[in-house]
Structure 1
Amino acid sequence: MKPYTNAKQPKVSVIIPIFNERKTIASVIIEAYNVHKHVEVIVVSNGTTDGSLQIARNMGAKVIAFDHLLGHDVGRSIGARAAQGSILLFTDGDIVIPAKQMKPLIAAVEQGVDVALNGYSGPVKCKKVHKVVLAKHSLNYLLMRPDLKGASMTAIPHALSRNAVEAIGFEALSVPPKAQAIAIQKGLRVKALKVINVGSKNPLRRKTRPNDPIGKMIVGDHIEAIHWVLTHSAN
């Protein structure tokens, strides 16, 4: 018997991209089911081979599986296309975040926010600020939203209204900084909420130091977003 099942008419869709997350995926899904009474959980497999998919299926999640590797955040776009809820909550399969910390994001959207961000900005009180943190702050400054500091759609968790998803476009969700830029440029209500410190929980970042290819990719995404802003500001 499945411990959980997706709601037939979900209010909230929780989108979870995964790549070999056998150790954490069950806990992530449990927390996802607990964010709202009417919820669906969508797991998007990014070339998973370790049995994570079966765990997700056994727990009643809707699974969208790809045998090959997708782009790093492409799963967000794919999951959003399949979502039925009026609120979309994005998290990752390798970081377990308690439902009670994610519920305020959903509540903010219910109260009229279009893009509810994790207020996490990354460490700035240090001699050498990480390039990803600098990129996030720079983009928000360019967008004339210094109040957001380093809050970013790159970081999980964050929640979007259905209106925001349609305004941003599914494809842009695969490049989170660009999606954020589009949201702000289109006048959507973007708000950074209470900090959920996911930096210390990120196993991928710890594994990839000092070369940090993920960090380089994120900086590249921000450069793409900055180019989009400059191009569209000129028009």
Structure 2
Amino acid sequence: MHASLPREQPPVQAGPVVSVIIPAMNERRTIGRAVREARRIHPFVEVIVVDNGSSDGTARTAQAAGARVLTYPEPLGHDVGRRVGAEAASGRILLFLDGDMAVPSYELIPFIRAVMAGTDVALNEYSGPVKAKEVHPVVEAKHVLNTMLERPDLQGTSMTAVPHAISRRALEILGFEVLEKPPLAHAKAVVSGLAVRAVHAVEVNRLNRLRRKSGEEDPLAAVVINDHLEAIQWLTRELGPRAGHTDLHRDRHLSEVSL
């Protein structure tokens, strides 16, 4: 049996220490276990499930497992549930999960511990299947963004992936709206000087059930890649066309030809 975090006595009538946010759409088969595992990570925790246009009883299952459920009859759009859940959260640590996988509580506790120890953005230290014969373009996009941010140490880790946790301080600096575009939130967190670290590896590819058959196109890949392009656009707008990088030793003026 894995040890939980040490008990912490908050002030009388204080809210939860940790808010777990789980967007879900038609995840009845996994949402109950996901909620139960999340509820074990801290003595003072709230679990918020954002029911994103489900039609299979996801909301009922999540509520029965002990979650507070925010129900929306129509799909909100990719990652909008993160913002909605964060707006409703009252914890000083926010942990983001997905409803299609039940991550064991002992795999989630390291993210909470990291934020308690001073990390503002605690990332999943899993860079994806980088040794595959054909690397997924989303994996490549994460590596490119971290290179441009001068954080090659982060490799392919990102706020795009779950689990990840952020401090209330990070939320106040970044704002709610940017959570809808995780790569942009990631870029802004690094540029803002927040403590961004990859803290623990959870192989989500192994936990996540397959949504498509082999060979079929990933319907979300284009959305995620476009989000990375938006993050890069913001970066070049803020730091210049080379995103703050030098032009090395090139003397471009010597190659100019006077007409």
* Range class of TM-score, shorter chain: over 0.9
Shift of the alpha carbon at 1:190?
0.1
Work out whether 1:163 is the aligned partner of 2:169: yes
Work out whether 1:103 is the aligned partner of 2:112: no
State the distance in 1 between where 2:52 and 2:94 align. Answer: 19
Work out whether 1:30 is the aligned partner of 2:36: yes
1:36-81 CA-to-partner distances (Å, cap 9, x unmatched) read: 1100000001101111101122233111111111111000000000
- Which residue does the alignment assign to 1:78? 84
Where does 1:1-235 land on structure 2 (aligned, <5 Å)?
9-203=15-209, 206-207=212-213, 209-234=215-240
TM-aligned CA distance change 1:137 to 1:176, over 3 Å: same
State the distance in 1 between where 2:210 and 2:80 align. Answer: 17
Question: Would the aligned equivalents of 1:205 and 1:214 in 2 still touch at CA under 8 Å?
Answer: no
Percentage identity across paired residues of the two chains: 52
State the distance in 2 between where 1:63 and 1:112 align. Answer: 30
- SS state of the match for residue 35, structure 2? helix
State the distance in 2 between where 1:83 and 1:207 align. Answer: 36
Q: Which runs of 5+ in 1 are unaligned?
A: 1-6
Shift of the alpha carbon at 1:176?
0.5
Please tell me the residue identity of whatever aligns with 1:211: E
- In terms of mean alpha carbon deviation, does 48-57 or 13-22 score higher? 48-57
Question: Would the aligned equivalents of 1:15 and 1:89 in 2 still touch at CA under 8 Å?
Answer: yes
Please tell me the residue identity of whatever aligns with 2:103: I
TM-score (norm 2): 0.85
TM-aligned CA distance change 1:148 to 1:75, over 3 Å: same
Question: Would the aligned equivalents of 2:35 and 2:66 in 1 still touch at CA under 8 Å?
Answer: no
State the distance in 2 between where 1:49 and 1:159 align. Answer: 29
TM-aligned CA distance change 1:101 to 1:173, over 3 Å: same
CA RMSD of aligned residues (A): 1.6
TM-score (norm 1): 0.93
- In terms of mean alpha carbon deviation, does 177-186 or 54-63 score higher? 54-63
- Which residue does the alignment assign to 2:245? none
TM-aligned CA distance change 1:205 to 1:135, over 3 Å: farther
- In terms of mean alpha carbon deviation, does 53-62 or 171-180 score higher? 53-62
Please tell me the residue identity of whatever aligns with 1:78: V
Question: Would the aligned equivalents of 2:103 and 2:207 in 1 still touch at CA under 8 Å?
Answer: no
Please tell me the residue identity of whatever aligns with 2:109: K
Please tell me the residue identity of whatever aligns with 1:35: I
